[in-house]
Structure 1
């Protein structure tokens, strides 16, 4: 009995530390790669969609642009004197690249105190929650992937000001394009 528990615990630990899916431009392949005993990304994304009303392709496209589905993603460090690794430009971390303060607000609002930014289930739930907040606060339609991403990247107050860099607009276009691609793929494979 103890051995079975230990093996299950080790398997759970190893799957939590798994590397990013290898085919991240194909939503069906992502879900196939992460559909196992302890992981079911398709189920988790669908659950977030039902709770917050944000379509799965938009949730997945946001994570694609933010982290490339890397659990421990962080912004690159700045360089001191051009070559010494220094501080990071923000506290963004995990699949959703959530900032410390925003993650704390999410945990308070949802009561998910043990949520982890490096856990896909929690990250996709966070993205759904944040996009839903943008819908409530900024009036963005839940199927408007471009504007949801602008608000995600710039923050809801930044979105309201409407001043976006060309890089932010390009990232929003990338997210919207990937959401459209994911939508077609998911329709094809029946997820």
Structure 2
């Protein structure tokens, strides 16, 4: 009995570690949500609550953390570059604003991070007038902050403009994939 209990605990610990690992195929939104089943509700809830496409939420998380819950920006010597942390790479101050507005949350929690991205993009849109469908400019404002975006701090960062374009393209790809896998699931349900 003692050995069985130890085995069960070891399996539970390993399962917990596996669940926090990034998805194996981050190029395919359907594969991501198939592999990380609990993420689907979080992505679609945040998309609905904040009127942001689910592909945008996934594309931001992919760019910011590569779907790693404990991501932190570091230089080549391992020194921390900012207070950004977690799936969303939210800075300490912005995360504190979010938790004051939405209640307790953790940056390592995928659902909280997905909701944070929706909440922050909604805030950015209201403050700057950027349309919620303008993924490229939303990303620039996400990275630079609404005030930085309005001061056009991104204009002197060609690399950031390239990243914003990639995030926008990835969001469109993810949204297209999600429409196809949703249609596939609907056909499967209809045939049963």
Is 1:97 aligned to 2:92, yes or no?
A: no
Query: What secondary structure is seen at the aligned counterpart in 2 of 1:63?
Result: helix
Picking from 133, 139, 142, the partner of 1:149 is: 139
Match of 2:128 in 1: 138
Is 1:50 aligned to 2:48, yes or no?
A: yes
Picking from 36, 39, 42, the partner of 1:41 is: 39
Is 1:188 aligned to 2:180, yes or no?
A: yes
Query: What secondary structure is seen at the aligned counterpart in 1 of 2:88?
Result: coil
Contact 1:57 1:179 in 2 (8 A): yes
**Could you list the runs of 4 or more consecutive aligned residues of structure 1 that deviate by over 4 angstroms after TM superposition?**
none
Match of 2:188 in 1: none
Structure with more helix by fraction: 2
Q: 1:44 to 1:176 in 2, by over 3 A?
A: same
Greater Rg over alpha carbons, structure: 2
Shift of 1:167: 1.4
Q: What TM-score results when the alignment is normalised by the length of structure 2? A: 0.84
Q: Counterparts of 2:175 and 2:76 in 1: how far apart (Å)? A: 36
Q: Counterparts of 2:92 and 2:167 in 1: how far apart (Å)? A: 23
Match of 2:160 in 1: 168
Cα RMSD, aligned residues only:
2.1
Match of 2:71 in 1: 73
Contact 2:20 2:68 in 1 (8 A): no
Match of 1:108 in 2: 100
**Aligned residue pair count:** 173
Q: What TM-score results when the alignment is normalised by the length of structure 1? A: 0.84
Q: Counterparts of 2:16 and 2:41 in 1: how far apart (Å)? A: 20
Contact 1:27 1:186 in 2 (8 A): yes
Q: Counterparts of 2:19 and 2:179 in 1: how far apart (Å)? A: 29
